Amino acid sequence: MSDIRIGGSPVDIAVSGLRAQSKKIGVISSNIANAFTTRGEGGQPYRRQEVLLRTSDELMGGVRIDRVAQDDASDFKRILMPGHPDADSQGYVAMPNVDVSSEMVQLTTASRAYQANAAVLKRYQEMVDLTVELLR
């Protein structure tokens, strides 16, 4: 055996993937829900959130959720709506920097990744069952 410490079992790794993707889906749904929220924290429109994933410190330890970061780089969309209570003096309303269609794409990606991790879990379970069958 080598000295390299192999981290978790496939169950732990797949579960870490499931948790990461589930967190991602949660944050994406928050972005979609707030796609038209003109007033969030500090009177500013909502800023989209992004989950940052890191590999686990352990070798083969799966993935861990580093943090949920705010997207401050992209600008708010300015839409002309003079009658809106949050409109500025020129009649423009600042809308969140959420692009619903790109969030939908990310939602699909995240749910596919979730499915993939669930498939790994299921397949591993089948493998163990196969080994147990040898104990007849």
Partner 1 sequence: MGQGNGIIPDLQAAMRAEALRHTVIANNIANAETPGFHRRTVVFEQKLAEAIARADGEDHEAVSPEVRTASDPMNENGNNVDVEVEIGAMIRNASAYKVHMRLLSKMYHQLDTAINGI
Q: Are 115 and 12 in contact (CB under 8 A)?
A: no
DSSP β-ladder status, 77-80 and 92-95 = antiparallel
With binding defined as CB under 8 A, does residue 129 bind partner 1?
Answer: yes
With binding defined as CB under 8 A, does residue 35 bind partner 1?
Answer: no
With binding defined as CB under 8 A, does residue 130 bind partner 1?
Answer: no
Integer CA distances (angstroms), 135 to 69, 124, 128, 129, 131, in order: 49, 18, 11, 10, 7
Q: Are 114 and 21 in contact (CB under 8 A)?
A: yes
User: Of 16-24, 36-44, 47-55, 100-108, which part binds partner 1 (CB under 8 A)?
Assistant: 16-24
With binding defined as CB under 8 A, does residue 68 bind partner 1?
Answer: no
Partners of 44 in beta bridges: none
Give the nearer residue to partner 1 in terms of CB position, either 81 or 121: 121
67: tokens are 């943090």
Least gap, CB of 131 to partner 1 (angstroms): 8
With binding defined as CB under 8 A, does residue 93 bind partner 1?
Answer: no
Q: Are 49 and 31 in contact (CB under 8 A)?
A: yes
Least gap, CB of 19 to partner 1 (angstroms): 5
Amino acid at 58: E
Give the nearer residue to partner 1 in terms of CB position, either 59 or 128: 128
With binding defined as CB under 8 A, does residue 136 bind partner 1?
Answer: yes
Residues making contact with partner 1 (CB under 8 A): 9, 11-12, 14-15, 18-19, 22, 121, 124-125, 128-129, 132, 135-136
